[in-house]
Structure 1
Amino acid sequence: MKFGVFSMNTDEGLDPLELAREAEGLGIESVFVPDHSHVPAQRKVTWADGSNTVKLTERDDLGEAATSDMPRDFYRNREQFLTLASMAAVTSTLRVGTGICLVVQRDPILLAKEVATLDQLSNGRLLFGVGVGSPWNREEIRNHGTEPRTRMKLMAERMAAMQEIWNNDEAEYHGEFVDFDPIYSWPKPVQKPRPKVFVGGDHPHALDRVIAYGDGWMPGHHDDAGLFRARVAELQERAATAGRGRMEITVTLAHLDRLDDYAAAGADRVLVMLPTGEERKYLKDVADAASSF
């Protein structure tokens, strides 16, 4: 099982270049960072009510932010692809990952070029986690011109359109939400036919999306180990039936005291959260766990 870390990548935490160098030096396989362009000051669904993940921080110093229920890490993170490119530039073996990339907030033609460029410049070290966003960030999604009610279909079309761009010298795509005549776009990804796509989410229909356009699943930690094993088994059975082969499993927000449960379920990678301000301590904890597991 591979060991990676997840950083909220804020301007108040460890410099991401230092983080990348230290993680690689400790033998950690990968670093993932999130993707939030902004956090709207007014939201109908609170973070506490709409999040399907564990609370990442317990910080009271939210300042004058209108979104008092939102941990400040969410609205202070750096841009995802620029950070990962910088991390890749100062390392040679560390894999860099999007955890996750909000595809429904990004233009697919530009995103295809960003993904391919990062994969090329990192010599094939990109892990491409994707998702549609949680209920609490629907205002964020709308600010990018996306209607939350149709975001699933938009996501599927954008993933398909990017695959056309990566695979073809002349690419075109004609769908309901994505529509373009033949285009040229380089570079192409180093990894073929693309960087591995990990679909995030624990929604009942998340496995449908994994099989439709993913190479793996990025669930969060499950307290119920039996349920998690059953979900992974269901995914692998469905993938085999669909002729997709084995799906790679990356557990995000993993707990170091539950590694045996993840391994028993067939997880390939665990990502441990690095609390802002305590990155070095947790990096060492992850490295120690990896060396003894």
Structure 2
Amino acid sequence: MAHSTSETAGTRSKRRAFSIALRGDPATFKTFIGNSDELGFSGVWTQDSLMPTNFSLDPLHQLSYAAAVSDRMRLGISVLFSGYRNPAVLARDLATIDQLSGGRLSVGIGIGNAYHRPRLASLGIDTDRPAIRLVEGIGVMRALWSQEEAAFHGEIYSFSGIRSQPKPIQLPGPPILIGARSEPALRRAVSIADGWTGAAMIPPEQRQAELAILHDELKATGRDPASFKIAVNVYVAVEPDREHARTRVQEILSAGFRSNPVYDADDMAQRVAVYGPVEECAEGLRKILDEGVDEIVLHPMYDHLNQLERLARAVELVDAS
């Protein structure tokens, strides 16, 4: 499977990639990763979940497993909640995955939704000052990754002379992509991160507004857009019958988001997903790339192993255009 590239005026070209969101079914996990590799996808991404009612494997353990099954694809997480894990412990966990994978890790991180915080606080997890925890947590990890005797001095975390092993293969550390939606958070991502990752449940017009803020901030700060990776998650279903695909996707999204206080499950498939015959899916993915996106993380919604093969065909059509 080849991959598209595009040239942005005044910058070097950026590689366009198609990756796959890992499914959390232990029975087919190894086969799913192996098939994704054989079909030529650029990477596999896991998701962190703070929802207690949803079955989900820990994303870090998933990536350790994937590092052993595939020695080619990049490994990503979208997104870790910045306050859920101590950043010093997380730094070691992520450096271990980077070592086991030969330097193939990318890390998505964000502050999470406000409705998660009461539950986390009841478990003794600090949830105050989320933006500061995000910024300082990233600083802590980068210090531990890049310094033999690390020092960091912030409002929440402050230390010196701390050693952490292993160091990641990628130095000064694995790329960090911020999951963010508000304008201040999007602009902050440009200043502190290596990229941005967009959520799958966001409709195109909202995603485009968020991308416009990112591009504006890149221009305002004089940062080379080629140094800032933009990845988006997309729900997908490839079926000869477009209505059948929509119905199947909507059933899954209705079940997953029916009690969500932020995202409206009604008609979510029609608003956010790419579905239908392979040619229509290819066109939908092409439009997303044309928005200035570098990587699309495809989320097959059902019949996962068969959907992988159909998605590979859709990507081939995008690359051929």
| TM-score normalised over the length of structure 1 | 0.79
Identity rate, percent = 26
1:250 pairs with 2:225: no
Hey, what does 1:31 align to over in structure 2?
Answer: 44
Hey, what does 2:120 align to over in structure 1?
Answer: 141
Q: How does 1:81-230 map to 2 (within 5 A)?
A: 81-143=60-122, 145-221=124-200, 222-225=202-205, 228-230=207-209
CA distance in 2, matches of 1:38, 1:180: 33
SS in 2 for 1:117: helix
Q: How far off its partner does 1:90 sit? A: 1.3
Give the CA RMSD over aligned residues.
2.2
Hey, what does 1:269 align to over in structure 2?
Answer: 295
Hey, what does 1:16 align to over in structure 2?
Answer: 29
Any conservation in 2 of the 1:99–1:129 contact (CA below 8 Å)?
yes
Q: How far off its partner does 1:147 sit? A: 4.0
Unaligned runs of 5+ in 1: 40-71
Q: 1:205 to 1:282 in 2, by over 3 A?
A: farther
Could you tell which deviates more after superposition, 124-133 or 147-156?
Answer: 147-156
Any conservation in 1 of the 2:95–2:167 contact (CA below 8 Å)?
yes
Any conservation in 2 of the 1:130–1:198 contact (CA below 8 Å)?
yes
CA distance in 1, matches of 2:174, 2:307: 28
CA distance in 1, matches of 2:188, 2:30: 33
Hey, what does 2:17 align to over in structure 1?
Answer: 2
Hey, what does 1:51 align to over in structure 2?
Answer: none
Query: Residue type matched to 1:248 in 2?
Result: K
Q: 1:264 to 1:132 in 2, by over 3 A?
A: same
SS in 2 for 1:252: strand
SS in 1 for 2:107: strand
Q: How far off its partner does 1:249 sit? A: 0.8
CA distance in 2, matches of 1:93, 1:99: 19
Hey, what does 2:268 align to over in structure 1?
Answer: none
Any conservation in 2 of the 1:31–1:94 contact (CA below 8 Å)?
yes
The number of equivalent residue pairs is 255
CA distance in 1, matches of 2:146, 2:64: 22
SS in 2 for 1:142: helix
Q: 1:249 to 1:104 in 2, by over 3 A?
A: same
CA distance in 2, matches of 1:101, 1:224: 23
Any conservation in 2 of the 1:105–1:146 contact (CA below 8 Å)?
yes
Any conservation in 1 of the 2:82–2:110 contact (CA below 8 Å)?
yes
SS in 2 for 1:282: helix
| TM-score normalised over the length of structure 2 | 0.73
CA distance in 2, matches of 1:184, 1:147: 24
CA distance in 1, matches of 2:300, 2:209: 28
Q: How far off its partner does 1:106 sit? A: 0.5
Structure 1, residues 94-137: CA drift from partner, whole Å, max 9, x if none?
Answer: 11111111221001111111111111110111111111112332
Q: 1:141 to 1:208 in 2, by over 3 A?
A: farther
Could you tell which deviates more after superposition, 114-123 or 145-154?
Answer: 145-154
Structure 1, residues 45-97: CA drift from partner, whole Å, max 9, x if none?
Answer: xxxxxxxxxxxxxxxxxxxxxxxxxxx5x3x2111111101111111111111
Any conservation in 2 of the 1:112–1:162 contact (CA below 8 Å)?
yes
CA distance in 2, matches of 1:152, 1:111: 17
